[in-house]
Structure 1
Amino acid sequence: MTGMPAPIERLVIVGGGTAGWMAAAAFSRFLNNGHTKITLIESAEIGTIGVGEATIPPILTFNKMLGINENEFIAATQGTFKAGIEFVNWGAIGERYVHPFGFHGREIHGVAFHQLYLRARSRRPMPPISEWSMSGAAIRLGRFARPGTDASTPFNQLYYAYQFDAALYARFLRTYAERGGIERIEGKVVDVALNGESGFVETLTLADGRRIEGDLFLDCSGFRGLLIEQALKTGYEDWSHWLPCNRAVAVATENAVPPEPLTRATARSHGWQWRIPLQHRMGNGLVYSSAYLSDDDARDTLMANLEGPPLADPRTLSFTTGRRRLSWNKNVITLGLSSGFVEPLESTSIHLVQAGIARLIALFPDKRCTDVERNEYNRAMKDLAEDIRDFVILHFHATRRNDSPFWDYCRTMQPPDSLARKIALFREKGRVFRDNFELFATPSWVAVMFGQGIWPDGYDPIVDALDEDHVDRAIEQMRRDYEATAQRLPTQAEFIARCCAAPGSPLRAAVAAS
């Protein structure tokens, strides 16, 4: 009889930052099995990007999985709450729309709300569909409160995520992980030794000569991909022909206004600008393509469009949109920027890390790291990345802007076949069908399609089986309920000041003074 496969004894995480410490925190909780030692190698010399970070609602699941107290987490990371994203100047200059988290309205007799909306719109002018969203109403009025488990309708439809300081988030998770038994080693990896027969990574050598052995390695080393690319030569799939931006310049500013419960993305002539409100500052950045805008002009554009005084000099970052050809190669799994990079437009970077961690926990290997496990992990992560890619490309491609060569290129480029098929299907009768386990549900596709001017030629004929007057009264009552419920909520500043303000947060003083 053959023996049982040998379990993983040494799990080594290369790199800290958001990805590394998310993985360390998760595995400190779920691999606390008495025989797997987890080590994280991090170099203070290298540092992390550490800009203001925005997220999407699944991060609540990650925090709950770790048993993190939300109020303590928000205070420790100078965080705020986010009910969606506001897009300015994307369809055309002067236009704006909201992609709210959660639903639009409610189905009536099983018919999707946006189909009811399309029929009503074909008869008369209609407000933006975001007015039929609890999160959308909160954004419009600048209000926020956290729905409890016993919240009534429609307040229980307020979905939210977080905005926080990424460096403080990594620090928060480091404390959690070290409390759970993770060993952190300060050091810089200078050599990677592979097994001559299997090609697996065996040993890492640090600058001071220390050697770290492992059975399984997580590459969280950032864009350089120290293990996955420099050692294993995995290869990279370049998406820059669809997502041409390859630079970002970032700067923090003082808060000129109280933090709103949203991330704002404003399209500029050669890219787009983010605005992420935190408790202690505003995160700002311009994402652009070096083929259409110089670094100096990008910096000038960003600095000319800030709301408050800058707190430091702006920093420029370079990247290539795309993904590593394999997320798991040999005995190396890549998380974060080392796995690839999609435009930060829909705040999906942390979700990709979270999804990778969850999938790895479900497929955690023994020392063999079999092809079956690797192939399943790679398939799932590829599908997720391509789903996010298509959704982000939609924002650039579905534009009527023709004011610059950058937007001319985005408007006229040939999108991926998977996205072209979705757009064509939506243009007919507003239908959205999801493949596999796509991240973005129908309301998200509807928000962006409508928001950027893709209006279907018709609507689903099933809608005409419903009495028009009855439906019109019902959807108008929904809109009023969302509005009235949002009116009763506190402002975000008031809510944070009451329950989760950081020590010394200016929000406490500002709310007390008002």
Structure 2
Amino acid sequence: MSEHRIKKIVIVGGGTAGWMAAAAMSKLLHDDSITIELIESEQIGTVGVGEATIPHILYFNRLLGINENDFVKFTNGTFKLGIEFVDWGQTGESYIHPFGPYGMDMEGIHFHHMWLRQQKMGQAKPIDEFNLQILAAQANKFQRAQVELQGSPLSTIAYAFQFDAMLYARHLRGIAEANGVVRTEGKITRVNQHPENGHIASVDTDNGHHIEGDLFIDCSGFKGLLIEQTLNSGYEDWSHYLPCDRAIAVASNKLDELTPFTRATAKSAGWQWRIPLQSRTGNGHVYCSKFMDDDTALQSLYADLNSEPISEPNYLRFKAGIRKKPWNKNVVSLGLASGFLEPLESTSIHLIQTAIARLMTNFPDKLFNQHDIDYYNERTRLEYEQVRDFLILHYKATRRNDSPFWHYCRTMDIPDSLHKRIEIYKQNARLYRHDNELFNHVSWFAVMHGQGIHPERYHPIADMLPDDELHRRMEEIHTVTGKCLQVMPGHEDFIAQHCKASSSG
């Protein structure tokens, strides 16, 4: 069997996707018989659409042995408790999608059912006051979970990061190269295929390198040099559901106060992100070219910056969708080469991370079993569809009718999978998590409730708790949550004590 083992892995493209793959694979494939080579060109820039993440990145960093405080320092990072959505349900409204739970589940059902029962009785306090992460985000406070305090909201704090993705890629490169990964500078000018089966045999670069491989990882961005331009894997267009197809990114000075959350503000033909770092602020305007031209989009972006711009605008074009065959023959695509879902919920880096994990679970030999490849592609598609549906919800669940763009979004057809989920929630507030999907009931509730979808009923088991016991429990949860907020340090105080970047000023 040893003659079938993969001996050479070639990663085409650097950036976040390429160096995440290189760092993880060099860590997990600790086998001297396997060599990993990454090809990238300094002439080709990387796409830095998003600099915010979701909590799963903690597991990836731990896998690589990255110290969290050091990570925040060298990426000029801040902490993230959730995402604030402004003007999505209706102009003038806002809500926070938190990473941590509301209250605590009771009687075997989710907390929001108990809250809905109390609300229909006219005695409920605002739902946000039962979520420590929302309260902390609003108060600019942060601390890590105190897992030893079982039963306390302080034990449930889930968080992610806001950071400079280019600095992160640079650090991952250091880890990968220390583990033996070879970086080759060059721009690929020719891709050579095996005449018998069409697999990629080698690539040639503009500076004379001829690089052979058994397994190729395509991290070449939107163009998909191997997966699409060579293997013609196809692309499924989802722009009907997610019509934004342009973005302009620009950096601005750091905020006066670093917020522990990312902000997404809905605009007339899309939305604008704000990501606070220790050294600067990341900003971008995501919009639909059918409803807004580039010059108008740029003016709108600058008009809503919270600090002075310090970089030239970076124009990006994309099409929401997924590669029909993310893994084709001996090529596995990662990042933008495999598909694109706009960074509304900061899922880009997570989708790279899960793809790497899925590849390692189904790691091939030179025979490239088609059943393994089919399974990988099916699971990849399912994950993308689940995230897609969650993103569509933000556009569909709106009462805005102040522009042609929002009229389109409010009235557009949506996938049956999302339609059924919304209708179930509208009837009895039930939320299901399928196939261990990324976003759980907390996330779905936050967006549905935050954007004005109000259920007619709640879970019938919620009525089994006597009124006085319900009120007593709810009051206790509310009081404890408020006390937990009081003991949390300020976000910037926490950073200053544990992970202040030397370049943050």
Whole-Å separation in 1 of the counterparts to 2:126 and 2:33: 56
**Aligned pair in 2 of structure 1 residues 175, 451: CA closer, same or farther (>3 Å)?**
same
For residue 174 of structure 1, report the CA deviation from its aligned partner.
0.5
Contact 1:342 1:389 in 2 (8 A): yes
Alignment of 1:384-463 (within 5 A): 384-463=383-462
Whole-Å separation in 2 of the counterparts to 1:478 and 1:227: 54
Partner in structure 1 of residue 118 of structure 2: 120
Q: Does 2:131 correspond to 1:133?
A: yes
Contact 2:76 2:503 in 1 (8 A): no
Whole-Å separation in 2 of the counterparts to 1:408 and 1:466: 43
Contact 2:323 2:338 in 1 (8 A): yes
For residue 50 of structure 1, report the CA deviation from its aligned partner.
3.1
Alignment of 1:171-190 (within 5 A): 171-190=170-189
| Equivalent residue letter for 1:24 | A
Unaligned runs of 5+ in 1: 507-514
Partner in structure 2 of residue 509 of structure 1: none
Partner in structure 1 of residue 473 of structure 2: 474
For residue 52 of structure 1, report the CA deviation from its aligned partner.
5.2
For residue 82 of structure 1, report the CA deviation from its aligned partner.
0.1
SS at match of 1:227: coil
For residue 493 of structure 1, report the CA deviation from its aligned partner.
0.6
Partner in structure 1 of residue 242 of structure 2: 243
Whole-Å separation in 2 of the counterparts to 1:405 and 1:357: 40
2:82 aligns with one of 74, 81, 84: 84
Whole-Å separation in 2 of the counterparts to 1:156 and 1:4: 48
Whole-Å separation in 2 of the counterparts to 1:402 and 1:129: 27
For residue 128 of structure 1, report the CA deviation from its aligned partner.
3.8
What is the TM-score when the length of structure 1 is the normalising length?
0.96
For residue 505 of structure 1, report the CA deviation from its aligned partner.
2.3
Contact 2:38 2:184 in 1 (8 A): yes
2:4 aligns with one of 3, 6, 9: 6
Whole-Å separation in 1 of the counterparts to 2:104 and 2:140: 23
Alignment of 1:290-329 (within 5 A): 290-329=289-328
Whole-Å separation in 2 of the counterparts to 1:428 and 1:30: 47
What is the TM-score when the length of structure 2 is the normalising length?
0.98
| Equivalent residue letter for 1:473 | R
Give deviations 1:351-403, integer Å, cap 9, x for gaps. 00000001111111111111111011111111100000000000000000000
For residue 483 of structure 1, report the CA deviation from its aligned partner.
1.9
Alignment of 1:199-278 (within 5 A): 199-278=198-277
SS at match of 2:169: helix
Q: Does 2:48 correspond to 1:50?
A: yes
Partner in structure 2 of residue 99 of structure 1: 97
Q: CA RMSD in A?
A: 1.2
Whole-Å separation in 2 of the counterparts to 1:117 and 1:79: 35
Give deviations 1:76-116, integer Å, cap 9, x for gaps. 00011000001000000000011000211111121210110
For residue 467 of structure 1, report the CA deviation from its aligned partner.
1.2
Q: Return structure 1 stretches of 4+ with deviation > 3 angstroms.
A: 125-128
State the aligned residue count: 504
Unaligned runs of 5+ in 2: none
Whole-Å separation in 2 of the counterparts to 1:124 and 1:208: 72
| Equivalent residue letter for 1:77 | T
Report % sequence identity. Answer: 51
| Equivalent residue letter for 1:352 | L
Partner in structure 1 of residue 154 of structure 2: 155
Contact 1:6 1:366 in 2 (8 A): yes
Give deviations 1:128-155, integer Å, cap 9, x for gaps. 4232222122112110011244345220
For residue 127 of structure 1, report the CA deviation from its aligned partner.
4.2
SS at match of 1:190: strand
Bigger mean CA offset, 339-348 vs 497-506? 497-506
